[in-house]
Amino acid sequence: MPTSSHIFYIPIVFVLGLILGVVLGRRSALVQIEEEKRLAQRKAARKSGAASADTAGAPADEPGEAKTP
């Protein structure tokens, strides 16, 4: 038969793990949502920049692309 300390220890550790999982999972989800918003803004800015460059007749330079002479 488990002792009384064992009967209290297991639920406390379980609840503590549950709380830590919720807190860390929430933080991770918020970071992912912010990253998706940032990428969507970059994509929209790139798209609007490409649209304005198409009307001007000049190609838009993408970051990280090699420029050809």
Q: According to the model, what pLDDT value does residue 50 have?
A: 76
- Phi/psi region, residue 2 (left: phi>0; alpha: psi -120 to 50; beta: rest), is beta
**Is the dihedral angle over the CA atoms 27, 31, 37, 38 positive or is it negative?**
positive
In a 13 Å sphere around the CA of 53, the CA atoms on its Cβ side amount to 11
User: pLDDT by residue for the chain (69 residues), tens digit each?
Assistant: 778 888 889 999 999 999 999 999 999 999 999 999 999 999 999 988 877 766 655 555 556 656 555
> Could you give the 3-state DSSP secondary structure of residue 63?
coil
pTM metric for this prediction: 0.54
